[in-house]
Amino acid sequence: MTSGIFVFAPTQNNILKVMRHGYGYETTMANQRRTKSGPKLLSSQATSNFIPDEADAALRAGFAFLLPRFKDRPWIKRRLCWYSDTRDANFIIDRYPSISGMFLVTGIVGNNAFKFLPILGRYVSNIFEGRGSDVQRQRWALKPTNKPMSKGDGSRGGPVRRVLTYHEQAKL
């Protein structure tokens, strides 16, 4: 899975969903000198139908390899999946240091973390109650870092996470 491209089975209406499990994109935050992986709050990316040109080319190349007869078909809908995982691609289960009483539980991408709740629930409660093992607390600690994104399990393809250009952000 070196390309990161994968395809879901067709829907009843014969629509294929193709994705690239990549490193994602970032947008600049207004009036701040930092970036985030997420859409602008003043617009709905769901209506823009924009993806970067290199993402489009990667999806087409994936189709050319996996399902060549579909490689030139027009897209019906295009969306960016905003990645918000940690640099080491792990969960965060930890107290937030600068806000008293705040406990942070997050990880993976968007709502994908929710499916892990039945498995992680006991670990969350153990760490929250101070009963988590040293290994668990260290692995899932909030770790501010400037390190690059982890290569993880090798399932991601494409370029490393990058900030969308000004012109790309204008299309969101």
pLDDT tens by residue, 64-99: 988 899 889 999 988 887 766 677 777 889 999 889
- Ordered by start, the domain boundaries in the chain are 5-83+151-170, 92-139
Q: Sorting pLDDT into bands at 50, 70 and 90, what band is 20?
A: confident
Average confidence (pLDDT) over 17-24: 82
pTM score: 0.67
Q: How many other C-beta atoms lie within 10 A of the C-beta of residue 134?
A: 7
Which whole number is the average pLDDT over 20-49?
A: 68
Q: How confident is the model at residue 35 (pLDDT cuts 50, 70, 90)?
A: low
Tokens of 95: 């107290």
Q: Give the pair of three-digit tokens for residue 152.
A: 């993880």
Cβ-contact 52, 23 below 8 angstroms: no
Average pLDDT, the chain: 80
d(CA 108, CA 110): 7
